Amino acid sequence: MEPLAERLRPSTLDNYIGQKHLVGPDAVLRRMIESGRISSFILWGPPGTGKTTLAHIIAKKLEVPFYTLNAVSSGVKDVREVIENAQKNRLFMKGNPILFIDEIHRFNKSQQDSLLSAVERGIVTLIGATTENPSFEIIRPLLSRCQLYILKSLDKEDLLELLDRAIKEDIYLKDKPITIRETDALLRFSGGDARKLLNTLELVVEAESGAEEIIITNEVVTERLQQNPLAYDKDGEMHYDIVSAYIKSIRGSDPDGALYWLARMIQGGEDPSFIARRLVISASEDIGLANPNALLIANAAFDAVMKIGWPEGRIPLAEATVYLATSPKSNSAYMGINTALALVEQTGNLPVPLHLRNAPTKLMKELGYSEGYKYAHDYENHFVKQQFLPDELMGTQLWTPQPNAAEEKLKERMRYLWKDRYQ
């Protein structure tokens, strides 16, 4: 018997739950699908958010050949065979065949290169699915030829709708005496993952199958999951919960907690590059200017792991983990760029002051480009006061130093140079 998640997989957009920002009324992806023509795109989001389902719905709606590859088990040869078949079928179809690649982030550079020409020439329309940030894993030429759509974890309303559909419409569950009295545990354990929610529901129902009435409460769900622990799934399931606990332990300056969650990821077979990337992000976001060496250590750990692999790679990862967890913390750079981005969004494309513009041509010089610019190295302490923000933003402070030894020194230097600008 198919798992509940497969039995309930929707076949039309009207039955698709969640991602209303993409497939709701007048949403961008729905409009494209209903027009009958789609361009290549990549679906990026956590597990259980409907990436594979969406690809199948699109292929069915467009009535075109649908080829699917899994990046874990497919090589360059498989890609070329699919492209050859797609090219043959394309002559007899009204639209381009669709090539769906699940876990596309696991394709190496040569595998991704083998896709480029087919995507460029329109031999196939590529739909990729990934749980990883595409900018880390997908080569720039391929990424530039694809739209990127971000899927979100399902919210409470989506999950409750899915539960209701499961017990009322599933061919097996609809005939069982199921009463859901409490949903908090079901929702908590699902973590916004539709597949995980349905797997949990199915597990609880099967465990209570002999009862006259199956009553689902928070206590029952918790008890059943403890008796049947879900294994760490590096492609989903507990993946995001574990890495969240790991990063929050580092941020919270708890090396013991950080090492524990690191061990859980290693024991579960997590991709070492995934862990190393999170260390680099944490070093920038959470330690930041309080200890700039943290970013160097994290990058060195990343490099070491890529060179030596498992099992020795656990050692530099542990070293970097402890170093970051025990370092002083600052998110001033992180907050500064977020503030700057919000300001840019609010104020739009303000003109660059003339004195900050380059003047490589005679006309630009005549128009006043670069006129009045002062070269800092020509002045004492390699500094001279001048305007570096657009006129409309004069006096705006985006970076706020935080109270730690390293940033106090930076703050004192800024006070010395700019006088009353940094208080």
Look at residue 231 in the predicted model and tell me its pLDDT.
43
Residue with the two structure tokens 């030894």: 405
The model's pTM: 0.56
Q: Is the peptide bond before 311 cis (omega within 30 degrees of 0)?
A: yes
Residue with the two structure tokens 């199915």: 202
Residue ranges and CATH numbers for the domains of the chain are: 19-150 (3.40.50.300), 156-227 (1.10.8.60), 239-326 (1.20.272.10), 355-421 (1.10.3710)
| Helices and strands in the chain: count of H runs, count of E runs | 20, 7
Which tens digits make up the pLDDT trace of 203-216?
888 887 777 788 99
Point out the least confidently predicted range of 274-278, 279-283, 385-389. 385-389
Look at residue 232 in the predicted model and tell me its pLDDT.
46
Does position 228 have pLDDT exceeding 60, yes or no?
no
Q: Is the dihedral of CA 219, 221, 224, 230 positive or negative?
A: negative
Does position 53 have pLDDT exceeding 50, yes or no?
yes
- DSSP structure string for 167-181: HHHSTTGGGS-EEE-
Does position 236 have pLDDT exceeding 80, yes or no?
no
Q: At what angle do helices 218-227 and 194-207 cross, to 10 degrees?
A: 90
Which tens digits make up the pLDDT trace of 353-408?
888 788 778 777 778 888 888 888 888 888 888 888 888 888 888 887 888 888 88
The torsion defined by the Cα of 268, 274, 280 and 285, in degrees rounded to 10, comes to -80
